[in-house]
Structure 1
Amino acid sequence: MKLITLLMLSAGILTPGLTLATTPIETTTAISTSNSKQSTKQLAAPVKVTTVEGITEYKLANGMRVVLFPDASKPTLTTNLVYMVGSRHENYGETGMAHLLEHLLFKPSANFGIKKGTKSPVEVLNATGAEFNGTTWYDRTNYYATFPANEDNLKQMLAMEADRMINAAIDQNDLWNPKTQKGEMTVVRNEFEIGESDPIGVTTERIQAVAYDWHNYGKSTIGARSDIEQVNIPRLRAFYKKYYQPDNAILMIAGKFDDAKILKQVNELFGRIPKPNRVIDPTYTTEPTQDGERSVTVRRTGGTQFVGAGYHMAPSAHIDSAALGLLANILTSAPSGRLHKALVETKLATAVNYNTVSNLEPSYGIFGAIVPKENNLDAAQEALLKVLENLKTAPITQEELDRAKQAARKQIQLALNDTAQLTIALTESMAAGDWRLFFIERDQIEKMTVKDVQAAAEKYLKATNRTLGRFIPTDTADRTEVPSTPDILKLVKDYKGQAVVEQGEAFDPSPANIEKRTQRSNLSNGMKLALLPKKTKGATVSVSLRLRMGSEASLQGKAEIGQFTASLLNKGTDRLSRQEIKDSFDKLNAQVTIGGNAEGITANITTTRDKLAAAIDLLAEVLKKPSFPSSEFEELKLAIVGRIEQSIPEPQAQASNAMARLTDATPAGHVLHVNTLPEQVLAAKTVKLEDVKAFHQQYFGADSASFSAVGDFDPTSLKAQLASLFGDWKAKQTYTRIARQIKAVAGEKLVLNTPDKASSFLLAIHPVAIKDDAEVHPALLMANHMLGGGALRSRLADRIRQKEGLSYGVGSFLNVPSQDPSGMWAAYALSAPQNTAKVEAALREEVQKAVTEGFTEAELIEAKKGWKQAEEVGRTQDASLAAQLSNYLAINRTMKFDQDFEAKVAALTVAQVNQALRQLIKPENISVINAGDQAKISK
């Protein structure tokens, strides 16, 4: 569970899983089982288990649990099938098996891909235009998808999940074919190699490995390279048959549906799968109490240093876990966090972080600090440990606890207002023992006292329970006895929860309806507005404000100054400090992002109807009256320099920078000019605070701004508020749009050396001189979708990932701007350095084949369907829609463009698509950038 850190830091703890994307299909096949009598006999009705805050759990006769989240406010469905198996269940020689099995579940099963005329799981998932993924962690594996809500999509999605629950092939040739020397094993191995290229990630893995003597929580979910390469297929099948069964699974379904109808459908599909005779015995390995400091040192190439301190902690269902989550926020949150003040504000480090996971059994947490190369690592370590392990002499205050609780409230409310994301978030509560633990910990957080948090700090954060980068013996044992998992059934029994979140309207996300519902107007100073009021779940509303500024001449030499200005806006105003700004937004349950550069600022807010006016008032203060504190300026400079330095040794950063520079048509000093990474470090170091203040005075104003709002709000009062706040705010410097240019490079080849990196990165690029309203654009878009934009279901993915097994991540993208003919097509692939040449050869062959032979009618039909449904899903995201409407205001575009574009895509012929590719992409003109360990590549 670890609710606070799960919600606030989920990006830092994502499991190595099979990352998937979108494309097309349509197959419905009834599953078959080995028990023919089971298929025809009368099924017992599902039994209701409990209802909490609008979420209801049922249990089928075979033991499978079904959790339903009805939400009619969005025309989408989310299915999330969780199996209670992860790396904790792996035995000797089986590390990584749960994760490898997750990959193989996307291969053909009996009735999906193997049976003639049927589609594979990947094809079914891509067909819906869904956002989908499969992930593996210590205690669970899950498969989820969000897709347009219609009976056909749901029917085939459920049929596919039921079939691969018991009918997956787990075929040796899918895993590794000795004859062809290809298979999914090498893809997973490449994923392992990608992780090995992250020195900070590897260091945190080593800390956890040293901290555990026996328990599998000390092993990375990705597994050992040797186990990945030598996995035994009979053991893998046995693992699958043992754990992939209905009595070990929980199916969550959220979105727009009829409860009774969908429950009957689930029972018909899954209820006929027999309950197995085997019994899954609980794991019983208990980690002994740590009896002294432990240490580990990792020596690898990298741009920055890192020091981390890890501690054994309570299992997620234990009440101590809630206290520890609040404690982590108190220690690491910027700018008030104690570690932030002790390390970042003093310039000992550029950033601090905290990593923990949701565990059924006693857990683990790691506090860390990123330290510049030139800084003293010992000094940073000393400061880190002083804060963590001296809390007894510097007790937690009520103010700190209140702030942490409010931050948690905001994140919890945001999760509750987004049903699809809540469905996926509850996966971690299931991993901890039960989905209701999410709500129980929320309630525990509200009841938490300073005494509770202080007691948890003193109990867990002490030297004898610590693993660090250094070992220091002690004469006096001071051990932490970690509590065992409580009786979860007793904990959740009769739990009713709080009131159900307010529901929204059933909104049609078609371009025509969005256009019909959108209200546009202008303020007296020229600021443009696009307002789309509608009822939403939880009365949420998303707004997007874009300030445009300057001209090509006036912004000469000011690129870095503009970036610093944007980053410093929320660090203090004439009235409020950085912490007060953060606290105020948190109290408004407002998710706020402010960013940009010298050309403009984008500010986004997601909050609720009753808090919107106050949130916009505060945003206006931040934008119009920043104080630019010198301490915050120096802290930001160190952080920016640190981030760039950290990226310098990395293959992806090197290749991406090289691509931008290769196609850059601007001279040095131009606001759009791309510097090398070392040049960016030097440029950041030369920015002065007085330059930032002058930039704000000269360039900021709303006369060329655009504002949009999507969600639950009153348009009349909002327009009046915007007119009052921004109607007379004008910039001293006139705004003139800067045209985009792209250098017409062709046939270039760049080789970049990134020593000691286990993964390499390949980029293939080709300029395309068109705008997005070009007649040929829809056809080229579909060509790219089939070539590499369709993720796992595309020519490049089929060849390089699926067939050759050379890359974990491969694909292509098409970037075509709206106002200037400066588009670009690019393809990318991650691989082991020794496979880079093979990847490049395969990529070139597939592009040449597509240009020479063209695509088929069948490919185009599926590409159209998948692309269209992905567009539909995208328009259900209010924040994204608000940003789109705001951007459209600047170019005088309405949603009619999207409607017409979809019609053009629908009318395309395969001949038009093939002609567009031949016209605009010349294989001989493709430029290639290869970044990796050249010593390994040359072998």
Structure 2
Amino acid sequence: MIRFDSQRAQPALASSPVQLGAALLLLLGLSLGMSVPAHSKTTPADPAQKRQKTQGQQPAQGGLKVNLAKAELVRSLGGISEYRLPNGLQVLLFPDASKPTTTVNITYKVGSRHEGPGEAGMAHLLEHMLFKGSPEFKDIPQEFSRRGMRFNGTTTVDRTNYFSSFNASDDTLQFALNLEANRMLRSSILKSELDKEMTVVRNELEIGENNPGQLLQQRVMGLAFRFHPYGKPTIGTRSDVENVPIEKLQSFYRQYYQPDNAVLMIAGQMDTAKTLTWVEQAFGGLPKPTRTLRESYTVEPPQDGERALQLRRVGGAPMLMALYHVPGMAHPDCAGLSVLGQLLAQQPSGSLYKQLVESKQAVAVFAGGCGGYDPGVFTVGAVLPPAADASAVELALLKGVEVPANTSFKAEDVQRIAAQYELGYRQILKSPEAAVGLLSESVAAGDWRLIFKLIENVRTIKTEDVARIAQLYLQPANRSMGSYTPVEQPIKVEVPRVSDRSAGLDDLKMDQVISAGESFDPTPTALEARTRRLVMPSGIKLAVLPKKNRGDTVTVSMNLRWADARGVALAEEAGWVSTLLFEGTAKHSRQALIDESVKLKGGFNISGGGQGASVSVQAEKSTLIPLLGLVAEVLREPTFPAEAFERIKAQSLASFEAGAKEPQTLRAELTQPYYNAQLGLKPGDPGYAFSRSENLARLQGVSLEAIKAFYQRYWSANEMEIAVVGDLPDGLDVALDRLFGDWKKPTAPAYERWLDEYKAVAPARFDAQAKDKANAIVELRQEIRLNNRSADYPLLDLANHMLGGGAMESRLAKRVRQTEGLSYGMGSSVNVGYWDDASTWSIHASFAPENRERLLAATRDEIAKVLKSGFTQDELDRARNDVLQARRQSRSDDGALAGALLNQLETQTAWQRFEQGDQRRREATLEQVNAVLRKYLLPEAWVISTAGDFLAKPPLAAEPAQATTKP
């Protein structure tokens, strides 16, 4: 996986303004996102590098030598304790007994900025290779799967990290530590494995080539940085990825993968004393290297004038992006830049948002960012509607950004942003496992405490500080963008550097006290003992699960139901109601809703459709009931402003148009008429798939009057279910009944569940032609007659996990990705409901267009093999453990627990049903699972659909060895 660094910013359209939770951490301006979903886990190994061994040490697991070096406590801050081993390894422990999971993260202070000529993408390629194993751990994905661990790795310009999470277990924690210590020095970096993994990484690069926003960002970064390596894309260049010598990769590994260049972080449930002992045993004997680290020393000189470029690609929405050079994370100005980004682009109060989006010149704006270890960029941009005058919008964008640099901002706006950071601050301290991700970025920037210093600086920021920072950095001569304007006098902006990145950090003190949680048992029996279900006087069904959480957190989920499916099948307006609810009530504007939810230390989200709505709420014990009052106000007193409707409609039309040329859109457009015909569906039938032209007409024809009428007719608490998990305040049930119990509409049509009827679909083949797309997609789908109440379903769940649902451990992933190197991501999924038996089984993959027939042939061949010979007992044992561990781990998440309680209220079941499903999986025999596989997996019934640029890269014929067996 590549996580593009803190210099990057990616525009995103519309999420709930009060969905503050973990997303608030992104306010920090670190731009931790733009993650590319990845499965950077690979296979085997061999003894590649031999390391120096220290005299007089005792042998330990993994073939390494261990002396019992003790970890020395360095400091503690905010519940995090820092230790240091004599070999230089830094260790951070963040214990939290309230969650029954543990996360282990090791961050190496090496990223793409450390690469030399011809090595572009090598840091990320090495991340992939470290899942190939070592002499002691020959199949790392299999070892993780055997223990039910979730795992991955990411690479940025400044660092590479590897992380795993698992149900708290002494044995699993010791395994994770031993594994990381082993592959730090003894990973197998082989030419034979590089040849296969290179094609997987190349396909990952091709996926990014399909994203116009990502491409524009890469190009402008390259324009902004003429010399510094931040201008190179972390994923690298195709030629370097294809041709990097194995010797360079091995040398890079030996140079940077050492204890003195790594930070080990452990968060969640743990025994601190034991954990330290295990860290000492696993890492203490690793020798302290004698080499000197090669540190990058390139300094980007001050920019001496505007720079410009233009990118033309097929698909996507028009976009403008301007980058301004700014300091790194350790510089105090990073805090002001974080606030400045929100003041410009936050919806709905940002000045740039008001200027461009509300006037319909743009459908979205974005702003923010600072550097990482070295100075980086502050990004400002806009997504435009298709017919926009890009030149005029560019002038307005730059005027809105560079003119305010000479003005002051309102104190109340700065205070509002600071209050949001205050909530983000609490969120970090509440969730040690989530905090590990931010700490990894701080480590990359120079010191793990920088994140706390940044937040502290934001909390004390003044309006004059923001104005000074804007005036200093948002200068035309410091700008790189998609246009060029000459100037008579060049202006050079000197970007300050930090020599001592730990300055002032020793004086940090934490003023937040977050209450500890309880030790929690997520087994179905323990959950049932905690759960209380009742019907309130108003008829609302309520289920509560008391649970002492860190920070007194409470999670609430609600379901509302109405109507029959056929009666609302053509109601395009149904999906609009919940979007417009957030635009304001009779008492609160959209901005006031955001401010009030921040004040109440929580957030909520509402989503609705034709037959009901769902509501999710997160707050603290002391603020839950007031926040529920705000939710009730939003649900019951919306104003549906006309301006908001027109703005959102314009955004929707722009997004609809932007996706017209995407492979997924083209594939669906080709296959939907076939499924409609095969299933006997016509407009007005539930489940009918509208064509693109039909959807455009529906979108264009929706009216505000129809939206209001739908709300008035259907939205109510006539049928309502509520689930609550966490620290329950006194009088919660009474408050819920008071807030929602009288929200009744006696004349509203009652809810009628629609049951899809299973119908077989004849096999077919569809190939959609896309233009100028480096990545292609495929789906192989069949209909199956099954529901999740069936005794077959738990067995099919295991079979699917082994076939393609178990990521790197699955048959298809091993064959198509690891052995053939044809796909970056391939998997399978079973879509099964509770009430009806109309289900599907599908296989999906991405690939280079020229590899289409080879990929299909390899898939058919592998499935023919598994149908003939079945899975092995070892495969079943690993899959069983992995699935059971995942099911247990899901029950440690409060949102998942609340969702399960709602499902129980609807189906009139209890936690015993989960135990029955677990037991069915525990008792499943190999013969039973293979029989279920053969019963439902029918390649002769597949509907195969692909989409890609097959004219630019014609598919190659399948190799004979890959096509020997066809179902």
Report the TM-score, using the length of structure 2 for normalisation. 0.92
* Separation (CA, whole Å) in 1 of partners of 2:67 and 2:142: 33
- Give the alignment of 1:560-571 within 5 angstroms: 560-571=572-583
* Separation (CA, whole Å) in 2 of partners of 1:64 and 1:659: 55
2:618 maps to 1:618: no
- Give the alignment of 1:516-915 within 5 angstroms: 516-558=529-571, 560-655=572-667, 663=675, 665=679, 666-714=681-729, 716-731=730-745, 732-741=748-757, 743-915=759-931
2:500 corresponds in structure 1 to 487
Q: CA 1:10–1:627 in structure 2 vs 1: closer, same or farther (change >3 Å)?
A: farther
Worse-matched range after superposition: 519-528 or 608-617: 519-528
8 Å CA contact 1:407–1:586 kept in 2: the answer is yes
Q: CA deviation at 1:5?
A: 6.9
8 Å CA contact 1:215–1:287 kept in 2: the answer is yes
Match of 2:181 among 162, 181, 185: 162
* Separation (CA, whole Å) in 2 of partners of 1:441 and 1:275: 32
* Separation (CA, whole Å) in 2 of partners of 1:705 and 1:123: 44
* Separation (CA, whole Å) in 2 of partners of 1:483 and 1:456: 12
Match of 2:941 among 911, 925, 931: 925
Q: CA deviation at 1:658?
A: 5.7
8 Å CA contact 2:25–2:428 kept in 1: the answer is no
- 1:573-595 per-residue CA deviation (whole Å, 9 max, x = no partner) reads 12211111122112222132221
- Give the alignment of 1:71-82 within 5 angstroms: 71-82=96-107
2:436 corresponds in structure 1 to 423
Secondary structure of the structure 2 residue equivalent to 1:768: strand
Structure 2 counterpart of 1:514, one-letter code: L
2:142 corresponds in structure 1 to 123
- 1:663-695 per-residue CA deviation (whole Å, 9 max, x = no partner) reads 454421345432233432321111000001111
* Separation (CA, whole Å) in 1 of partners of 2:593 and 2:917: 42
2:91 maps to 1:53: no
* Separation (CA, whole Å) in 2 of partners of 1:355 and 1:654: 34
8 Å CA contact 1:765–1:827 kept in 2: the answer is yes
Q: CA 1:602–1:627 in structure 2 vs 1: closer, same or farther (change >3 Å)?
A: same
Q: CA 1:357–1:672 in structure 2 vs 1: closer, same or farther (change >3 Å)?
A: farther
Q: CA deviation at 1:186?
A: 0.2
Q: CA deviation at 1:257?
A: 1.1
Q: CA deviation at 1:135?
A: 0.2
1:456 corresponds in structure 2 to 469
2:39 corresponds in structure 1 to 19
Structure 1 counterpart of 2:448, one-letter code: W
Q: CA 1:881–1:643 in structure 2 vs 1: closer, same or farther (change >3 Å)?
A: farther
Q: CA deviation at 1:494?
A: 4.2
2:122 maps to 1:97: yes
The unaligned stretches of length 5 or more in structure 1 are 26-30, 114-119, 177-182
Worse-matched range after superposition: 848-857 or 3-12: 3-12
**Matched residues, number:** 919
* Separation (CA, whole Å) in 2 of partners of 1:680 and 1:357: 40
Match of 1:153 among 160, 172, 181: 172
2:498 maps to 1:478: no
Structure 2 counterpart of 1:622, one-letter code: V
Match of 1:344 among 357, 365, 370: 357
Q: CA deviation at 1:539?
A: 0.7
Worse-matched range after superposition: 8-17 or 140-149: 8-17
Q: CA deviation at 1:15?
A: 4.7
- 1:501-547 per-residue CA deviation (whole Å, 9 max, x = no partner) reads 21100010112211221111123343211111110011111111111
8 Å CA contact 2:337–2:378 kept in 1: the answer is no
1:136 corresponds in structure 2 to 155
* Separation (CA, whole Å) in 1 of partners of 2:941 and 2:189: 42
8 Å CA contact 2:27–2:338 kept in 1: the answer is no
* Separation (CA, whole Å) in 1 of partners of 2:706 and 2:223: 48
2:92 maps to 1:67: yes
Secondary structure of the structure 1 residue equivalent to 2:623: helix
- Give the alignment of 1:233-244 within 5 angstroms: 233-244=246-257
Q: CA deviation at 1:789?
A: 0.3
1:179 corresponds in structure 2 to none
8 Å CA contact 1:105–1:168 kept in 2: the answer is yes
Q: CA 1:21–1:398 in structure 2 vs 1: closer, same or farther (change >3 Å)?
A: farther
- 1:825-848 per-residue CA deviation (whole Å, 9 max, x = no partner) reads 111101111112111111222222
2:320 corresponds in structure 1 to 307
Q: CA deviation at 1:741?
A: 4.4
- Give the alignment of 1:288-327 within 5 angstroms: 288-327=301-340
The unaligned stretches of length 5 or more in structure 2 are 1-5, 8-22, 45-49, 60-65, 956-967
Structure 2 counterpart of 1:929, one-letter code: S
2:136 maps to 1:111: yes
Secondary structure of the structure 2 residue equivalent to 1:221: coil
Secondary structure of the structure 2 residue equivalent to 1:751: strand
* Separation (CA, whole Å) in 2 of partners of 1:68 and 1:567: 41
Q: CA 1:131–1:411 in structure 2 vs 1: closer, same or farther (change >3 Å)?
A: farther
* Separation (CA, whole Å) in 2 of partners of 1:625 and 1:661: 41
Secondary structure of the structure 2 residue equivalent to 1:820: coil
Secondary structure of the structure 1 residue equivalent to 2:87: coil
- Give the alignment of 1:317-466 within 5 angstroms: 317-354=330-367, 356=369, 359-466=372-479
Worse-matched range after superposition: 527-536 or 57-66: 527-536
Structure 2 counterpart of 1:187, one-letter code: V
- 1:229-273 per-residue CA deviation (whole Å, 9 max, x = no partner) reads 001111110100000000000000011111111111101111100
1:216 corresponds in structure 2 to 229
- 1:633-682 per-residue CA deviation (whole Å, 9 max, x = no partner) reads 11111122222222221123443566666545442134543223343232
* Separation (CA, whole Å) in 1 of partners of 2:483 and 2:757: 52
* Separation (CA, whole Å) in 2 of partners of 1:332 and 1:685: 27
Q: CA deviation at 1:934?
A: 2.3
2:267 maps to 1:254: yes
Q: CA deviation at 1:37?
A: 2.8
- 1:15-68 per-residue CA deviation (whole Å, 9 max, x = no partner) reads 557435999x9xxxxx99733534467533211110001100000010000000
Q: CA 1:390–1:434 in structure 2 vs 1: closer, same or farther (change >3 Å)?
A: same
2:239 corresponds in structure 1 to 226
Structure 2 counterpart of 1:13, one-letter code: G
2:69 maps to 1:44: yes
Report the TM-score, using the length of structure 1 for normalisation. 0.95
8 Å CA contact 1:525–1:703 kept in 2: the answer is no
Q: CA 1:835–1:887 in structure 2 vs 1: closer, same or farther (change >3 Å)?
A: same
Percent identity, aligned pairs only, is 38
* Separation (CA, whole Å) in 2 of partners of 1:366 and 1:800: 39
Q: CA 1:709–1:16 in structure 2 vs 1: closer, same or farther (change >3 Å)?
A: same
Secondary structure of the structure 1 residue equivalent to 2:622: helix
CA RMSD in angstroms, aligned pairs only: 2.1
Q: CA deviation at 1:717?
A: 1.1
Structure 1 counterpart of 2:618, one-letter code: T
Q: CA 1:152–1:9 in structure 2 vs 1: closer, same or farther (change >3 Å)?
A: same
